[in-house]
Each structure stands twice: as C-alpha cells, then as structure tokens.
Structure 1
C-alpha cells in the first residue's frame, strides 16, 4: 500500500458504532409492556426554572415488572413531575401517593405492538442509512486516493475492508431489530 494513502478505518468504525449506540438509545425508549426506568429518560420536568430529567428530581425504581415508581425529593415538584409524565406521550396514567408517583404499565394490545414494531423498524432503517453514509465517505476517500495515484489492487483492498466493516454493522442493526421486535410482540 502506498505510504501517502492511509484510510482512517478507526474513524469510520467509531462513526458506525455511534449509529449502533444511537439505535440502542432509541430502542430503550420504546415501551414493551414491561416496566423500565429508561422509558422515563426522554421526559423532562420544569424544575427550578430549567428543564431537568426526571432522574435528577427523584429516585426512579422498578419494584415489579409492570410498575415504575418515582420518589420525588422536593414536595413542590410532585405536581410538575406528574404533569410532565401525563404530557410526555408515554400513555401512562401516574398515581400519586404522597411524594411517590406510581406508574402502572398497562398491557400492550396487539395493534399497539404492531405499531411499535414498525417504529422499531424505522429506527433500524435510520441506523442503516447512517452506516451506509459512513461507508460512502470511506469509499469517497478511497476514490480520491486512486485519483492521487493509488494502485487498483490497493484500492480493491481498502474497498473490501470498508465493505466488510459496513456488512458487520448492518448485521448488528438487523440482529438488534429482530431482538427488539420479538421483545415487543412477546405477550
């Protein structure tokens, strides 16, 4: 390989890993009918004049498979936390017990499960597109190297390496999607 051309495969891989990490975050926010503290991560509360994550105004617990509780530290924020949950679009009806807010997680019906699998599929497709964009960037760098005098053999070696990396990460997306869809459809 010519000394003057070096493809930064670490950068490409780091960016592909970023797409996978982003997908995991999106998947964790999808409700599967099972209680999980991570389902509250996107919910922000107007506390002390700033939008604050729920886990910074109280303790979030999952005492059983269909219940999440939030022990709000400041009595004055209980109403605001309850309001934030009601308006979050999570479809959960909070119940107050002093400074503890209980969130019973309802069973998902068949139609809602199918909708969630479609949303999961869309998240996965977005991750695949991100990975393909990284691949395209890598291939563009290789083409530039070819224009600067890289041999065709070297070009082929680099292209194969980038394609192999792309296939690996696309396969990871597909595996995670399959797992998430099975989790959603599980009754």
Structure 2
C-alpha cells in the first residue's frame, strides 16, 4: 500500500518536471531550436494539428530554423500560424521552405524571460509539493484506519520527503541551466 502511494507521488512529481521541461522549451534563448515551435498549431484540413506533424523542422544555422511543409499548399497556413503564435517570430517564405530567423534578445527581454523561467520553476515546485501533501495525507489515512503503524507512517513520510527533495533539486538545476542559457550573450 505504501509503495503504491510512493509510486503515485513520484509519477505526479515527474509530471511536474515534465511540464517544466515543456515550459522551458517555449522560452527562446536567441538560438534556433526546433522545440521552440512545439506549441504552434496549424489548421490542417480544418483540424488544429501540431506543426511538427505537417512539416519537417530543422536548424539551418544557430539563428535560423527551416520549416519544410510536406504539402506545398500548407506554406501560407504555416507561416500565418507561426506569426500568430505568442513566440514573437517573423517567418520568411522562400519557395517551399519557410525560414524562421531568431531575433536578437535585448537585456530587458532576457531579464523578462528569466522572470518567466523562475515563475515556471515555482509552479513546478508547487506541483511537487502538492504531490507530497497528497501522499502524506494518504499515509495518515492508512494510520487512522489502523492499516499501518506509526513507525511505518514516519518511515513513509521520510521516503516521500526524500523524493520531494530530489525532484525540487532537479527543478533548481534545470532553472540554473536555463538562466545561464538565457543570460549568455
């Protein structure tokens, strides 16, 4: 029973880390990276479809992405979707290829992005702590129902706390790396 609670808590904590990875991928660093366009949705035969499912995205150089649609008629739709995304990118079409240059980041923009990264990291920490709280309350419920002893309760709470500390440390490590990446000129 306690093992199931710990596994469930670890899954929830891992989901918090995964969402942080996803949020950090949206924050551009001035260098071209295909993951920047992961959130762009394209209208494909009337259905919103992720860009990476209708086009190949490659890094042309460290400041430019090349988007090659698999169907030529999608070029204007993809270009419009990239422009209307909240990424602040201006694509340029060159025949069948859409080039997406990454604009230079100003000092103020970098600071704003670091603030955003810190906010995303805090959301991940809160998510991890919520998973800990839920797991601890389940353990306390088991104690109330006399399914486990007080020693087992303390031991389970210690193990859950260790899991929490490990995941919070990972969040801090990811945040530090993202900050360094953003502030590098």
Could you say which TM-score interval applies, normalised by the shorter chain?
Answer: over 0.9
The match for 2:173 is: 175
Listed as ranges, the gaps of 5+ residues in structure 1 are none
Contact 1:43 1:84 in 2 (8 A): yes
Q: Could you tell me how far apart the structure 2 residues matched to 1:132 and 1:28 are?
A: 23
| TM-score, normalization by structure 2 | 0.94
User: Aligned to 1:41, what secondary structure does the other structure show?
Assistant: helix
User: Aligned to 2:174, what secondary structure does the other structure show?
Assistant: helix
Match of residue 152, structure 1, among 147, 150, 153? 150
Q: Could you tell me how far apart the structure 1 residues matched to 2:58 and 2:163 are?
A: 39
Matched, 1:37 2:34: yes
| TM-score, normalization by structure 1 | 0.93
The match for 1:92 is: 89
The match for 2:56 is: 59
The match for 2:122 is: 125
Contact 2:89 2:100 in 1 (8 A): yes
The match for 2:182 is: 184
Q: Which moved more, 1:49-58 or 1:37-46?
A: 49-58
Residue 7 of structure 1, CA deviation: 4.4
Q: CA 1:56–1:152 in 2, change beyond 3 Å: closer, same or farther?
A: closer
Which structure shows the higher helix fraction?
2
CA RMSD of aligned residues (A): 1.2
How many residues are treated as equivalent by the alignment? 183
Residue 24 of structure 1, CA deviation: 0.7
Q: Could you tell me how far apart the structure 1 residues matched to 2:143 and 2:32 are?
A: 53
Match of residue 70, structure 2, among 73, 77, 82? 73
User: Aligned to 1:106, what secondary structure does the other structure show?
Assistant: coil
Residue 12 of structure 1, CA deviation: 1.2
Residue 164 of structure 1, CA deviation: 1.0
